[in-house]
Each structure stands twice: as structure tokens, then as C-alpha cells.
Structure 1
Amino acid sequence: MENIDIGKKVEKFRKAKGFSSRELAKIAEITPSMLSQIERGLANPSIQTLKVLAKALDVPTFSFLLEETKTEDLVVRSHSRKKMVVENLSYELVSPDFSGTLATAIMTVPPNTSSSEKLLEHKGEEVAIVIEGKIKVFLDREEYRLEAGDSVKIPAYMKHKWENSFTEKAVILFSVTPPAF
């Protein structure tokens, strides 16, 4: 774990709120020199001081302790997506990983293939759009034929499956929250 610069985070939140150092120090009931030392990394604030600063800035206390997200970790190049093949179905992860509350993937379903033998359910809510080809989606006891451009929302715990009984592959882009593949 990298060293977390709490002072820089305090300064960032202060500036985002439009407070001067003196204004924040007054609201938080600490001296302006103490706030200056914290922001410049010359003093380590106590937990109590962090709580007071968090309240004054209207942010959760733990937000000072979180590591920064590296923006390069948020970009996924098309040639370097994580891929998985399960019984002829292929999945490419469009989102960087499964951390967080949302994941997006591309599912390719070859002709005469289905996502499962029977209808399955999972805790994640899902939204999908057909990018290429056509496919049947089964939602509980109903069957729907979707073509390129059509989309579907699948509520959490709804039994469903995908079936390509056509002669061309189907490509579906879908997002699931929380991630549950």
C-alpha cells in the first residue's frame, strides 16, 4: 500500500468546497497554522481532528484514508480485455475488473448455443443490448426474440437464459450490478 497523503486530500476537499484555509480552520475549530501543517504534510492529524475536518467538509472520515485511483487503471484497451470462454460462450470484460458495484462485459453466443441448459438466476440486476445478430432471451416463462439494437432489463433473481438458435453468432453487451457472473 502506498503512503496516503492525508494533507493533500484535506486541501483538495477544502478547495472543492470553496473554503479558504482560515475559513476551514475556524469551522473545524483548529488553528490555521495546524491546518497549514496538515495540508503540507508537516503534521499528522489525530483521528479526532480528521473527524472534525470531515464534518466541516461534509465528507466521510474514511475518505481521507482511501488510496487514490490511478486513472490508467480505469482504461481498458480493446486488445487487452480479460477474456473467458465457457462451453463455447465467450465473455470479454469491458470494465477493468469486478471491483465496485458495476461490471460490463461482451458475451458472444455462437449459433445453436445457449447460456445454460435451464433458466438460471443471480443476485445482480442486468441490462443488455444486442450488438450483432439475433438471440432469444427467456425471462421466467416468457420467450423474446431480440435483434441488433434491442435491449432488455433483467431484474435481480429473475430466472433467465440466452439461446442462439439462429445461423449467425450473437454479440450482447451487458452490465450487471452488483457484479455476478
Structure 2
Amino acid sequence: MTTMAPALPADDPATGDERLGAHLRGLRKARGLTLTQLAEAAALSHPFLSQLERGLARPSMASLERLARALGTSRVELIAASEPPRPDESTHPTIVRADEGLVGPYAEGSARLLAEGPRRFEPLEFTGANAEPGDHYVHEEDEFLTVLEGSIVVSLGPFGETTLEVGDSVYCRSGTPHRWHSPGGAPYRLLIVKERVHGTPDPGEGET
């Protein structure tokens, strides 16, 4: 199983850094945030964030986690955005075996990406055992989850909360606050499918 290393992919570091920077910038723009606003939300300096977006700096795992939470995404999704593109495979099916797939922190647990290469959505296998719900996540992408093992209590912000058992599902529309936990800390496993944001800024766009 592929695990998250404490650095971005090293086969072509500069290119990987540039891809990550473009993705961060695209997410920030999609969220309607300025560099200053995102820097404040992620507790990072404005100059450092500017360098990140231009591919001139490499974030630590701690910095990447703060950015992920500020942008309503996860470290594993940000790392995936820095992977090399695979244009030659764009029309071919891709297979991820049970012991494959990028693995990394996601919300209060961990997730494994279930697809690679060009894709329109992000399928993830999530595992957790958190007794505390943590912070609500809010993002512009729709998100679907279904319970594969165990049970969870899902909080949907102003829409209240409900318990989901094996086979139960929930679909969250864009902007819906959501978080989940397992009372008592019992392990659980979910299938999560998110819309994928392509973090490519408009050509010629300024650094705002």
C-alpha cells in the first residue's frame, strides 16, 4: 500500500511543486479567497504562501494539513494533485489493487485513493475510529458517502445529525457543513466520492 511520505513526489520535484502550487491557487480562487485571507486561515505567512503557489517552495506536512483544512480538502487530495499527469492513459481504464492507492490523513482518520490518472471525481476509502467529531468541513464540491463497516453519527450543520449504519448513505450538496464520528470510538469504514476540483488558474491571472 502506498503511504504518504514527508515530501512531494521526488521524480521531478520542481514540476511536482508547480503542479501543487497551481492546484492550491485554483482551490483558493474557487473558494473566493485572497492570498492574505488564506494565509491567515492557515496560519502561514503571505510571502511563503505566494512562493508555494508559484512552485518555489515546498510545504511541510503540518503546513499542508493547515492549508487542506482552510480549503475544505485533505492532505491526501493535495498530494494527489502534485502527481505527474498521465495524458496517454486518459482514455484507458485504470485499476487500483487492494494493496495500492495513495494513503494519507483525511478529516479525523485516513483515506486511500481508489483511482489514479485523469478523473472527474475522487473516490476514497476512509477508515476511522474517532470518538470526537472534530471540525465541520465546508467546501464547494458535492460529496457522497456510504458506510461499509461499523456505524457513524453524521452532523450536517443546520440540517441536524443522524446515525448511519452499514449500507446507509448521505449526499451533501455544495456548501453543506459536515463531519462524523463513532460514539465510543468503534472502528468504521466508509466509501467517499467527491467532485474533483482542477486547480488550474486562468492564464495571465494576477496574484490576488
2:60 aligns with none
1:140 aligns with 157
2:127 aligns with 108
Query: Deviations 1:21-70 (Å, cap 9, x if unpaired)?
Result: xxxxxxxxxxxxxxxxxxxxxxxxxxxxxxxxxxxxxxxxxxxxx95427
Instruction: Answer with 1 or 2: which has the greater Rg.
Output: 1
Which structure dedicates a bigger proportion of its chain to strand? 1
1:76 & 1:172 partners in 2: Cα distance? 17
SS at match of 1:159: coil
Query: Deviations 1:124-154 (Å, cap 9, x if unpaired)?
Result: 1111100000001111230110011100001
2:132 & 2:139 partners in 1: Cα distance? 20
2:108 & 2:138 partners in 1: Cα distance? 20
Query: Deviations 1:86-126 (Å, cap 9, x if unpaired)?
Result: 576111111125x4320100111114143xx3222011111
Match of 1:151 among 143, 153, 169: 169
1:155 & 1:165 partners in 2: Cα distance? 25
Match of 2:97 among 77, 82, 87: 77
Match of 1:166 among 170, 175, 184: 184
Match of 1:118 among 117, 135, 141: 135
Structure 2: segments with no counterpart, 5+ residues: 1-85, 199-208
How many residues end up aligned between the 2 structures? 112
Alignment of 1:1-181 (within 5 A): 67-69=87-89, 74-85=94-105, 89-96=109-116, 99-114=118-133, 117-141=134-158, 142-179=160-197
Q: Kindly indicate whether the alpha-carbon contact (under 8 Å) linking 2:154 and 2:180 is maintained by their aligned counterparts in 1.
A: yes
What is the one-letter code of the residue matched to 2:190? I
Structure 1: segments with no counterpart, 5+ residues: 1-65
Q: Provide runs of 4+ in structure 1 moved above 2 Å.
A: 70-73, 85-88
2:107 & 2:168 partners in 1: Cα distance? 25
Q: Give the structure-1-normalised TM-score.
A: 0.54
2:155 & 2:108 partners in 1: Cα distance? 19
> What is the CA-CA distance between 1:158 and the residue it aligns to?
0.6
2:22 aligns with none
Q: Kindly indicate whether the alpha-carbon contact (under 8 Å) linking 2:129 and 2:181 is maintained by their aligned counterparts in 1.
A: no
1:51 aligns with none
